[in-house]
Amino acid sequence: MSKSMLDYTKSVLKRVSFDVNLFCKELEKACRVLLPYELEELASWLMKFIKEKPELQHCMLLINNK
């Protein structure tokens, strides 16, 4: 996948962050589609993003299990 897929994934996650279940589903999709180095970058971005949204913190487990 290209860098644009990672950027697209981030934009989708930002847009669905109002709904925890939807956010987790989109994160699961991203884990199936993105390459390992992209997942590392997504994990780094996600750690910063969820600091402001504590209700999403448990979703981090999805990416840590990959």
User: What does the domain layout of the chain look like in residue ranges?
Assistant: 3-64
**Mapped to the 3 state alphabet, what secondary structure does 1-66 carry?**
CCHHHHHHHHHHHHHCCCCHHHHHHHHHHHHHHCCHHHHHHHHHHHHHHHCCCHHHHHHHHHHHCC
State the pLDDT at residue 66: 60
What is residue 19's predicted lDDT score, i.e. its pLDDT? 94
Residue 43, pLDDT score: 93
In tens, the pLDDT along 6-60 reads 999 999 999 999 999 999 999 999 999 999 999 999 999 999 999 988 899 888 8
